[in-house]
Structure 1
Amino acid sequence: MAESEDPLVQALPPATDYLTYLTLLEYQLTPARLPVLHKLLQDETLTTNIGWDLVQMLLPMLPQSSECLQDIARLGNPREVILRVSDALMQLQPEDEDDEGGRFIATSLQAALEAYTLMPTSETTMSLLEFFRDVSPSKRPAPPPRAASESSVLRVSEASAPDPEAESQSTTPADNEEPALVRRFLQFGLIELVKSYLLSFSSPTDPGMCWAIRLQEKLRPGTRMPGGQSQTEAFSESKELRERDMIMAKITALSRDFGLEDKLLLEIVSLPSENQPPPLDFDELPKKADQIPLERHGALLLLAARAAMAELFSSGQVIPIAVFPDLANIFANFVGGYNTPDDVAFGQPQALLDSLLTLTVFSMQKTIGTPATEREFQDFILALTACTARQHFSSVRQIPGIIVHSNPSPTARFKIIRNVLEEENYLTVKDSAIGWLQNEILSAVNESPTAEPSIFLNPHYFSVLFPSLFNPAQLLLNVSSDIVASWIKFSQSLVPSIHAALNLYYILVSSADLRSRLQLGKTYLFFRNRFLEPLKTLLHAFQADLTQNGGDGKIESAVGEDMCHTGMARSVELISHALEQVEDVVGDAFVVSDAELQEPSADDIARVDKIRKATEP
């Protein structure tokens, strides 16, 4: 029979109405006609109108009907597919589960996940979770609905604790793999759901789950900035955000019901990407449960969710993760080997970064420990700092500094600071390294007088860092021929590190003790002539371009007047204010003439050179 003569084609609406067409399909649809139906379902109008009822007819024909189900998921209403799949699987008889349950669930799961990824809303997430719960070998009655709140998250998690009787019922003889397959497919599906759900919060203005900052607010309340609403308060007061917590509590509880142990998740995320198994092939379904791969990103997100739920809501316990080597290894597997910090900060989804930072805050509750090698330490700090580079909250950006300071080797701490300050690719996190240096200097001042002298109060060690702290080369911008590009680079890339460096210099010069210990008088002429004066010249060039100052207004024309004025306030005016403060304090500190100022001696230069060679990153 020619395809045009097929009853499915001839009866297409408007030849018949949609209800009549569905009745025809009920009697005429066979596995042999599925390719024809697949072509017809490319019509979005047809698929939208008949997809809901068609799912029920297609499920018994799995796996041959999987393409048609995916058409409905893609072009129809995704929630319909999820609900229909769930409804059909509820009708599975126990003997079906033993014989073909694994294959049936796998192909049905493919359709449900295909639909879910198109619309990962709270409603579809709850529908898919109900689907998972209903077909679980250890299923239990659904808990009654509750208002989302911190206490309700606790109750939901407790209500979903693993059922020992259900666990024992899922144990089957070795010669029957079907229940184990069903369980593993559900583990696979739940991990895919976690990934899609958390990645759906991708808007730049969406707060996501904010696990890392909420953990910081709870575990380290002293790091919270005064004033304004905390993220803990935001999630408590917002109905939408409370609902997210409730859903994640259900997910984490269900994951334990499915036998997803922390140890298994840790094993997955501890393997590098090249050692991970290939993705699940739904066309060639595995015969054994352990052949079904669990996706590593989803495993990481679930592990972080468990850690967050455990700390924020006392919901379950999570195996502690040692910072070294375990957490360092996880970071290497997910964000290691980048070229610049922005490759991570802008190249990875916020859900992944938040999860990595959540595990870091969680792990820092225990003794951080000592890295096996300096390379392990440096790689971890650089990867961690890249994850915090573009985070909004200062307490999150401070996390790497805490781990830097925990290293018992002052030389290792000095080397990582020097590495970030000198390496051009790390420019966007240079301000972080300056913050680490400031903390090390101030901590050394407060050490016991009987303690061994700190290298961070040694003027020769400080002199090694001085040229990279106040780098004249970064001020060589071509303002005469391209002032717009120069201003953009200055305001977007250079301001954070310049501002941090000026603040550090202000603190050091303001203290007579630190000024003397670090022998800042010997480097003052370099600072003034090679950095301070060129910086003032650069700022003047940007200000002179403004039309209000009689300039050509090239910057305003290029980026818009409002953006220009906002950018000027956050860059040129900010640095100008810091410069004024520095000039005030150096005017009081260095009151002698230039001729009377000491300069580095030959011995000083030799010592600095020796330290520079010994501390090469």
Structure 2
Amino acid sequence: MPELSESIAAIKQGAKEDRFTYLTILQYHVKSPEILPALNDVLEQDAQLAEEIGWDLVQMLLGIPGSETCLETVARLGNPREVIIKVMEALDGLTEAAGDEEAATTPDVSARFIVLLGMVAILHRRIKTKYPSRFLGPSLVKVFEAYQPTPEMTAAVINLVRSLSGRKRPALPTRKSSINVTNLDQDGDNSKNAPDPEAEQEEPTEDKMQEKLLQAFVTCILQRYVNQNEMQWSARLLEYYHPEKLVPGKKTIAQAFNEDGPLHQRDAVIGQLVALADDLGLTKLSDSFIAYMYENVTIVDPLAAFEDFSSPEDIHLSPGGAVCLIAYWVFSSEVFDADNPQPGMYIFPDHVTLLERFLGTEAQVEIGSSPGIADALLAIGLGLQHKGLIKRGTDTNFMAYHHHLTLISVFHPDIQIRNAATSFAGTILHSDPDDQNRLDILEDLLENCMFASLKACAVVWLKEELIAARKGNATNQFSSPDVIDRLQYFVFPATSAVKDMGEEELLDYWAQNSLFLLQVANFAFFLFSEGCRGLVPAGMRSAVEQRFAEPLVGAAERLLKRAKGQGGLGGLGEKDTMGVSILAERLKGLPLQ
């Protein structure tokens, strides 16, 4: 490797050679950060040289630490239409790295992304063409493909959009959650920008076209960020609406987001993205923006139109990103007392339409791949219900709506969101004014649902309906023993098959059904108490004992004997062993006589 002084001399003197020879010299000598100031001096002093070879320097410099200044000079002096091509190629390389999750979030990849976006901002502001949107659209696609939803990369995206939109917000006070990254465009000297050698007069309609591209791009970024960074909006809203249900001494989710640095940072980043959407005019378009969400039943890929459009109407917002934006408006208006637009929506038909649209026929797949959108949808529903925005018109399909909520409660990967969905589903069930509908929903769950956790919820909801009818002296489906007679074989199914199960099969049976069985045992204590005597049909007590309780008691005792005999838990965890013991004690103690 040549000496530093030798390399500096070669870089300075070689600029007199032809361009091909000079590039060969640079490839040999530009290997370390120490050489970069000399190269930058040469480029700044010879703008013609920078214009001619700038695009050849992008890949050469990008891998060298500390090359930001040189790359900024290349972006300001190189031919913008040529350099942007090389920047797009470099972003492609980062997209390939994104296939490796570990490599995609390394400091090196993040640093390159930040520098490249600074160059994109400079280059697009320099390109003077009739249709700048034709350059902007493909560039935004490449940026989005390379983007990973880290705080640093997201900050770079925010800087890019602010530069391209020409909107400057006042600097905010520095906070511990703030993310500051290199911003070649806004931190540099724009007076150094060379003119576009192929400049053309811009079409008057281009402002609107570029604004729509940026709006769509920001909604795409918002969707990806929320899907990969748990915001827990619905769970936090539930805490806010029902503080009486909080466990004393246990840290709330809201406290965690206030006190935990990375979580606090998530709120800050989302706030900046939403502010960006506001800058781009989406807040002012709130009514038509929200109507667009539930009136368009086909989910579109917004990026698909970024390179093929003839009017702003051809450019689509990200549906998922739009849902996240609306959810943030709802959430922050309540929890942060923010002055946001209020969605002109009702649960029926607007919110149920959104749920149907996003969950579709493959709910488990959709919720698993877009958990942030599912959380956002749930948060919107909670906000609407809390404000009493239940129906617009007369079409109210509570069963369909309840079904969609329970899908989130079963399939969402975050237990806090599952709990919020379960709680909300219960609220919606009880709020249906038609008691026959409520009974039909419960019967459908108990008879047809394959998920023990959801059947356990149905048992709890049934108990709540019985209590409400008794307290309110109501005369409805839940005040008569007919309801228990109708549901008894679903609530207390025959369990005689457990007698013939081997121990391993019995363990599997317990794993699949424990939540339901324990909840039914609790329900039985309630139902067979003195206060509910009028609800129990004649002869049901002994039938439940023979059909349901006795076989389960025997099975539970076998499992407990196995655990004791093996000197350990016998295949049961400590929690399961306790659950089996509780089940046996509860069933033995039922007042069945």
Question: Do the structures match in fold with TM over 0.5?
Answer: yes
The 8 Å contact of residues 287 and 344 in structure 2, kept in 1 or not, is answered as no
> SS where residue 443 of structure 2 aligns?
helix
Matched, 1:105 2:113: no
Matched, 1:80 2:112: yes
Output the aligned Cα RMSD: 3.8
Task: State the Cα distance separating 1:116 from its structure 2 match.
Answer: 2.1
Equivalent residue for 1:614?
none
**Aligned partners of 2:376, 2:467: CA distance in 1, in Å?**
31
Task: State the Cα distance separating 1:581 from its structure 2 match.
Answer: 3.0
1:246-285 paired onto structure 2 within 5 Å:
246-260=268-282, 261-270=285-294, 275-281=298-304, 284-285=307-308
Rate the CA distance shift 1:580–1:100 in 2: closer, same or farther, 3 A. Answer: same
**Aligned partners of 2:27, 2:406: CA distance in 1, in Å?**
59
1:143-158 paired onto structure 2 within 5 Å:
143-147=171-175
Rate the CA distance shift 1:473–1:267 in 2: closer, same or farther, 3 A. Answer: farther
Match of 1:549 among 565, 569, 574: 565
> SS where residue 198 of structure 1 aligns?
helix
Q: Which moved more, 1:432-441 or 1:366-375?
A: 366-375
Deviations 1:440-492 (A, max 9, x none): 100001114xx4x1211221221111111111259548632xx435423422x
1:300-339 paired onto structure 2 within 5 Å:
300-315=323-338, 316-338=340-362
**Aligned partners of 1:237, 1:435: CA distance in 2, in Å?**
34
Matched, 1:565 2:593: no
Task: State the Cα distance separating 1:108 from its structure 2 match.
Answer: 3.2
1:488-567 paired onto structure 2 within 5 Å:
488-491=508-511, 493-510=512-529, 512-515=530-533, 517-546=534-563, 548-550=564-566, 556=571, 564-566=572-574
Equivalent residue for 1:603?
none
Task: State the Cα distance separating 1:583 from its structure 2 match.
Answer: 3.0
Matched, 1:461 2:483: yes
Residues paired across the two proteins, number = 519
Task: State the Cα distance separating 1:382 from its structure 2 match.
Answer: 1.0
> SS where residue 467 of structure 1 aligns?
helix
Matched, 1:224 2:246: yes
Identity of aligned residues (%): 20
> SS where residue 179 of structure 1 aligns?
helix
Deviations 1:369-407 (A, max 9, x none): 469899932121011012123553445521111111111
Rate the CA distance shift 1:63–1:271 in 2: closer, same or farther, 3 A. Answer: farther
The 8 Å contact of residues 472 and 531 in structure 1, kept in 2 or not, is answered as yes
Deviations 1:123-153 (A, max 9, x none): 221221122112214x12442333268xx9x
**Aligned partners of 1:374, 1:177: CA distance in 2, in Å?**
42
**Aligned partners of 1:11, 1:474: CA distance in 2, in Å?**
86
Match of 2:211 among 166, 183, 189: 183
The 8 Å contact of residues 48 and 77 in structure 1, kept in 2 or not, is answered as no
> SS where residue 130 of structure 2 aligns?
helix
The 8 Å contact of residues 329 and 342 in structure 2, kept in 1 or not, is answered as yes
Rate the CA distance shift 1:80–1:145 in 2: closer, same or farther, 3 A. Answer: farther
Match of 1:124 among 148, 153, 162: 153
Rate the CA distance shift 1:431–1:503 in 2: closer, same or farther, 3 A. Answer: same
TM-score (ref. length: structure 1): 0.74
Task: State the Cα distance separating 1:524 from its structure 2 match.
Answer: 1.2
Matched, 1:412 2:437: yes
Equivalent residue for 1:115?
146
Q: Which moved more, 1:85-94 or 1:304-313?
A: 85-94
Deviations 1:279-310 (A, max 9, x none): 43478342322211212112211221221111
Rate the CA distance shift 1:519–1:81 in 2: closer, same or farther, 3 A. Answer: closer
Deviations 1:214-243 (A, max 9, x none): 111222222323330111111222232222
Match of 1:487 among 484, 507, 527: 507
Residue identity in the other structure for 1:434: V
Rate the CA distance shift 1:326–1:473 in 2: closer, same or farther, 3 A. Answer: farther
Equivalent residue for 2:399?
378
**Aligned partners of 2:93, 2:397: CA distance in 1, in Å?**
48
The 8 Å contact of residues 78 and 116 in structure 1, kept in 2 or not, is answered as no
The 8 Å contact of residues 212 and 358 in structure 1, kept in 2 or not, is answered as yes
**Aligned partners of 1:12, 1:529: CA distance in 2, in Å?**
89
> SS where residue 457 of structure 2 aligns?
helix
Rate the CA distance shift 1:367–1:141 in 2: closer, same or farther, 3 A. Answer: closer
Residue identity in the other structure for 1:406: S
Residue identity in the other structure for 1:586: P
Rate the CA distance shift 1:343–1:463 in 2: closer, same or farther, 3 A. Answer: farther
**Aligned partners of 1:494, 1:60: CA distance in 2, in Å?**
64
> SS where residue 539 of structure 2 aligns?
helix
**Aligned partners of 1:459, 1:574: CA distance in 2, in Å?**
30
Gaps in structure 1 of 5+ consecutive residues: 1-5, 153-173, 202-207, 557-563, 591-617
Equivalent residue for 2:8?
none
**Aligned partners of 1:485, 1:344: CA distance in 2, in Å?**
32
**Aligned partners of 1:58, 1:442: CA distance in 2, in Å?**
76
Equivalent residue for 2:374?
353
1:19-34 paired onto structure 2 within 5 Å:
none
Rate the CA distance shift 1:281–1:59 in 2: closer, same or farther, 3 A. Answer: farther
Q: Which moved more, 1:387-396 or 1:217-226?
A: 387-396
Deviations 1:18-74 (A, max 9, x none): 67899799869979998xx99xx7xxx996338865683685326644334322564
Equivalent residue for 1:366?
387
Deviations 1:387-436 (A, max 9, x none): 12355344552111111111111000000000010004344411111121
Task: State the Cα distance separating 1:103 from its structure 2 match.
Answer: 2.8
Rate the CA distance shift 1:322–1:375 in 2: closer, same or farther, 3 A. Answer: closer
The 8 Å contact of residues 370 and 408 in structure 1, kept in 2 or not, is answered as no
Task: State the Cα distance separating 1:526 from its structure 2 match.
Answer: 1.8
Rate the CA distance shift 1:401–1:116 in 2: closer, same or farther, 3 A. Answer: same
Deviations 1:482-524 (A, max 9, x none): x435423422x211111111111111212x2312x21255211
**Aligned partners of 2:341, 2:250: CA distance in 1, in Å?**
32
Equivalent residue for 2:192?
none
Rate the CA distance shift 1:338–1:356 in 2: closer, same or farther, 3 A. Answer: same
The 8 Å contact of residues 421 and 469 in structure 1, kept in 2 or not, is answered as yes
> SS where residue 132 of structure 2 aligns?
helix
**Aligned partners of 2:350, 2:235: CA distance in 1, in Å?**
22
Residue identity in the other structure for 1:185: L
**Aligned partners of 1:401, 1:454: CA distance in 2, in Å?**
19
Rate the CA distance shift 1:7–1:343 in 2: closer, same or farther, 3 A. Answer: same
Equivalent residue for 1:433?
458
Equivalent residue for 1:577?
582
The 8 Å contact of residues 73 and 115 in structure 1, kept in 2 or not, is answered as yes
